[in-house]
Structure 1
Amino acid sequence: MHELIGNLLVQLRALWRWRWLAVAVAWGISIVAWLVVMFLPNVYESSARIYVDTRTALKPVLQGIAVEQDVDSQLNLVRQALLSRPNLEKVARATDLDVSVGNAADMDKLVQSLRDQVMIKLQQRDANSTGGANATDSLYTISYRHPVREKSLAVVRNLVASFVDDTIGGKRTDSDTAQRFLREQIRDYEQRLSESEGRLADFKKRNVGLIPGEKGDFFSRQATEMEALQRAQSELTLAINRRAELARQLRSSRPYTPGTSAGAGGLNGVGPTDLSLRVQETEAKLEDLLLKYTDKHPEVISLRDTLKALKAREAKELADIRSGGSGSGAIRSLSSNPVYQNIQLQLNQADVDIASLRGAVNQHTAEVASLRKIVDTAPEVEQELSRLNRDYGVTKAQYQALVERLEKAKVSEDAEQTGVVRFEVIDPPSADVNPVAPNRFLLTLAGLLAGLLGGLGTAFVASQMAPTFANAVSLENATGLPVIAAVGSYAPKSTTTAEASDRRKLAIAVAALAVVCLLVTLIGGTGAGLVQRILS
């Protein structure tokens, strides 16, 4: 620690030898720095604040019936558009900033300078804090700095006007563009819809009878017809069996039953009732033979002759009875059998049912045969019909959606005329009479500090270039030789007085530097403006 302090004292003594050089350098650097500060141009800042409120009374009313306007995105786009090259060039021409522009390179520099110096800040606040719903209000601050106060005001004024006009005009332009696009799309889809309807109608005309209707598609129709055919065949089989059973019962029943008194017919042997039974039995035998043999078979021919003779005899006896012949007493002794008559009625109904069922079977058989003929064509027709219906449905849905969007766009345009967004310039463009830059106070102090550091640095470099030995220890360390003895210095009174005078002059020089720094600080922008006016 003692050695460190000793080395520090040695360095201070070395710097002290070059004190006047340090003061001179400090004065020089400070004066140059202060002159630079004095020549720095004043910079004035102009700013304006715009309040944008998207929470108007129309917004909840228009929900669902108008196109939602993304106002925040629109405002951000306008914010970017304000700093675009065309807009900045327009602002430069409107404010005469392009007076000194001589070529395209100068214009590029001017536009870049405007883009760097124009500041647009957004402060967004949630509308829920003020009772709104799903909306925000925004506060835009537009500021610009320029050496001429009037120029800064003019630039901000033009930017504010562009901000409001471009936002409203941009919405109107977007609405017109959207409606024009929707109308073009609607015309296109109208043509597509008409063409699709024409193709569908032509296809149905070409494929009459193959188009699936309420009964379903081809395979469902085929399955339905097959099922109906099987059901009709089953019912026909049951009806035929029922008729056969009724015929058997009818053959075993008598059409007449005996009365209370005996008749003469019973005396003659075979009466009408016996003949009727024999006729029925013969008919039954004939039907059985026809199931086994053809019409030319001898037994069939013989049985038919017998049946013919029995029917002729029965007819003759019935005629005699009706004319009051010998057989009239028999009819009076007979009465109709109700069981026979009931079976006869059921048999007649069974014949009707069988005829109806055979017609149904024939109809279903023909329908199944017809469907089998088109088994290769119908699926292709149905597939093509499904494709046409699908295309028509998609086109129609798109057309209806476009019409709805167009109506919403029209309502939105009307709403824009009323005002969905409210703009309010709460702080018009203004600029303080005092410049905001440069900060001459800090720059003056920085110049003084730079001068002092420069002086000390110069003195240090000089001491290193021309070193001296302040004591015996430093000499011994530098040479590596032992120091035997050291002789002290003796200063006469005149030398002491001269050194005191030198120190006073040094103090005065340093104090003068501080006073000049204070004056420069106090004069500030006034002196700088005066210097600039004198130079101009």
Structure 2
Amino acid sequence: MGPMQIWRMLKARRYVILAMVLLGIVAGAIVAKMMPNQYAARARLVVDMLRPDPVTGVATPPKTLESYVTAQVELIRDIRVTGRVVDALGWEKAPSLRAQFLRNNKDDQVTMRSYFASQVANNTNAYLIRNTPILEIAYTSTTPDAARRGADALRDAFLMETLDGKRQEAARNAEWFSRQATELKQRLAAAEGRKAQFEKANNIVLQDDNTDAESAKLRAIAGTAPAAPMPSVSVGGAVSSPSAAQLAQVDAQLASARRTLGANHPDIIALQQQRSALAAAAGREMAASRAASRPVSSGPSLSSMLSAQTQKVLAQRGLVGEAQRLAGDVSVLRDQVTKTMQRSADFQLQAQSTDTGFQRLGSTATPQVSSTPGLFLFVLAGLAVGAALGVVLALLLEILFRRVRGVEDLQIDGLPVIGTMSPSAAATEQSGLLGWLGLSNAESART
């Protein structure tokens, strides 16, 4: 079937198409008149999730913010929020709405609250305004005041549900961390008991830095051992310290300088100050050298005490290592208890927080203009639908009641066309309106 054949079919059935177009226009006008006006009120919230939480100090990463907001948009149309709207507006107590519910609801399993909550969800639309942190909640109703009250109730219900969700989650986390802290405290008490029992059984006492008393005593003995004596120089049979040698050099420089410089010259003053410091150091070194040359009093020497203490520490090394391991377990458990209790306290504070992560943006305005499409749009839609149905109906009629309307309809494979007949130009001009209506000359003669 070629385009020319289709055109001839549509031309022959143009009255059908015209009738369907007129019917569609009338239907569109009727629907526009019968459809009640709809008013859409919009309440707005500012998404304030990027700033740190006032309790935990944790901020939502920007990469996860979009997915979080998407989930919150879906929450707005959830029954947990829309059910709160039904409760806030008191629809379950309204006699007229109860009668409507009993009249329209056929399912015994559906409650009145869930029935109207689903209607609220159907009239609700929420979206994040592009390139802004503003979340808009739109609610549609048949009156402007009802639309405004519904949008306000939706926003309040959403904020309450978000806050309750955060509090409940924080309370569950606080309870879990509290149980973990109690368990860790029990384990810590048991670890401290094992450590104390081991130290008592093996006569080992660990200090705060996990070192035993014998090792500390060894370090103290090693710290009291005398240092190696400073090298000395013998000058004229007398023992001279390094500072004394430097003092002699400074005296020589000072004597040479006094020959050419005055008494108040800066170089002379600097050499005199250097000589005073070296003289004091030389005196201290000589006193230390004389003290070291005195005979040591009777009793055990430091070296013998150091050797004995070293042997004692080496003998207890295995026991000390085990005690340090037990002390390490106690330290780890103590740290875990501290951190767990801190987390539990943080979640307990968060469970009492009033921060939802959203802020109200202005008040909801009462809509003044109906959001229902106008009469022109309904008429235009009816025209388009009627034309489409008319074309389909015309083609269907032509297929069911097929007629020969052109040479193409007689072209059959294997059967040649001998000739065609067409009206003359004069006859076509005389046909006038009949020709436009698609009637042939023979048909006009019959009429």
TM-score (norm 2): 0.55
- The residue that corresponds to 2:416 in the other structure is 479
Could you give the per-residue CA deviations for residues 254-310 of structure 1, whole angstroms, max 9, x where no partner exists? xxxxxxxxxxxxxxxxxxxxxxxxxxxxxxxxxxxxxxxxxxxxxxxxxxxxxxxxx
Aligned CA distance change for structure 1 residues 206 and 438 (closer, same or farther; 3 Å): farther
Superposition pairs of residues 150-165 of structure 1, within 5 angstroms: 150=143, 154=146, 157-165=149-157
> How far apart are 1:85 and its partner, in Å?
3.8
**Is this contact kept in 1: 2:137–2:155, CA < 8 A?**
no
Matched residue, 1:122: 128
User: Cα–Cα, structure 1 residues 15 and 105, in superposed 2: closer, same or farther, change >3 Å?
Assistant: farther
* Post-superposition CA distance 1:28-78 (Å, at most 9, x none): 4345544643564526432112232467xxx99x97666568699886555
Shift of residue 423, structure 1, vs aligned partner: 4.2
Q: Does 1:391 align with 2:329?
A: no
Residues 394/467 of structure 1: CA separation in 2 closer, same or farther (3 Å cut): closer
Structure showing greater Rg:
1
Instruction: Give, in angstroms, the shift of residue 174 of structure 1.
Output: 2.7
8 Å CA contact 2:129–2:135 kept in 1: the answer is yes
Mapped partners of 2:217, 2:168: distance in 1: 58
Structure with a larger share of its residues in helix: 1
Check whether the contact 1:226–1:368 (CA below 8 A) recurs between aligned residues: no
Matched, 1:444 2:390: no
The percentage of aligned residue pairs carrying the same residue is 9
Residue 317 of structure 2 is aligned to residue 375 of structure 1: yes
- Give the alignment partner of residue 74 of structure 2, picking from 52, 76, 80: 80
Which residue, 188, 197, 200 being the options, matches 1:196?
Answer: 188
Aligned to 1:335: none
What residue number does 1:210 align with? 204
Q: Shift of residue 140 of structure 1?
A: 0.7
Q: CA deviation at 1:390?
A: 2.0
Q: What is the SS of the residue equivalent to 1:428?
A: coil
SS of residue in 2 equivalent to 1:424? coil
Does the 8 A contact of 1:196 with 1:388 survive in 2? yes
Pairing of 1:480-499 with structure 2 (within 5 A): 499=431
Q: Give the corresponding residue for 2:299.
A: 356
Check 1:458–1:179 CA distance in 2 against 1; reply closer, same or farther (3 A cut). closer
Q: Which residue number corresponds to residue 26 of structure 1?
A: 17
Would you say the 8 A contact 1:215–1:221 is kept in 2?
A: no
Is it true that 1:421 corresponds to 2:355 in the alignment? no
Deviation at 1:79, TM superposition (A): 3.1
Distance 1:401 1:469 in 2: 90
Return the letter of the residue paired with 2:207. G
Cα distance change, pair 101–406 in 1 and its aligned pair in 2 (3 A): closer
Alpha-carbon deviation of 1:100? Answer: 0.4
Once residues 437 and 368 of structure 1 are traced to their aligned partners in structure 2, the CA distance between those partners, rounded to angstroms, is: 105
- How far did 1:171 drift? 1.8
Q: Decide whether the 8 Å contact of 2:23 with 2:386 is kept in 1.
A: no
- CA deviations over 1:475-510 (Å, ceiling 9, x no partner): 9x96355x6x98987999xx997x446458889xxx
- 2:138 aligned residue (138, 142, 153): 142
- The whole-number CA distance in structure 1 between the counterparts of 2:212 and 2:77 is 68
Q: 1:176 to 1:455 in 2, by over 3 A?
A: closer
- Distance, in Å, in 2 between the alignment partners of 1:186 and 1:455 is 75
Distance across 1 between alignment mates of 2:341 and 2:373? 62
Distance 1:457 1:427, change over 3 A: same
- Give the CA deviation at 1:361: 5.1
- How many residue pairs get aligned? The number is 353
Amino acid across the alignment from 1:424: G
Q: 1:489 to 1:66 in 2, by over 3 A?
A: closer
Q: Is the counterpart of residue 50 in structure 1 residue 43 in structure 2?
A: yes
* 1:184-230 CA-partner distances (Å, limit 9, x unpaired): 7457636744762574266236415423437874699399579959x
Distance in 2 separating the partners of 1:187 and 1:486: 102
CA-atom RMSD, angstroms? Answer: 5.9
Q: Deviations over 1:427-460 (max 9, x none)?
A: 2356618655893221232255347645864786
CA distance in 2, matches of 1:182, 1:392: 19
Q: 1:189 to 1:488 in 2, by over 3 A?
A: closer
- Indicate the residue corresponding to 2:166 in structure 1: 174
Letter in 1 for 2:365: D
Q: What is the CA–CA distance in structure 2 between the aligned matches of 1:69 and 1:84, rounded to whole Å?
A: 26
Distance 1:172 1:68 in 2: 19
TM-score between both structures, scaled by the size of structure 1:
0.47
**Cα pair distance change 1:68/1:117, threshold 3 Å:** same
* Cα separation, partners in 2 of 1:381 and 1:501, compared to 1, 3 Å: closer
Structure-1 residue corresponding to 2:444: none
CA distance in 1, matches of 2:207, 2:433: 126
1:102 Cα deviation from its structure 2 partner: 1.0
Query: Given the superposition, is the C-alpha separation of residues 30 and 440 from structure 1 closer, same or farther in structure 2, using an over 3 Å criterion?
Result: same
Judging changes above 3 Å, is the alpha-carbon distance between structure 1 residues 384 and 31 closer, same or farther for their aligned structure 2 residues?
same
SS at match of 1:367: helix
Shift in Å, 1:123: 1.3
Are the equivalent residues in 2 in contact too, given 1:48–1:427 (CA < 8 A)? Answer: yes
Q: Could you tell me how far 1:397 is from its partner in structure 2?
A: 3.4
- Secondary structure of the residue aligned to 2:318 is coil
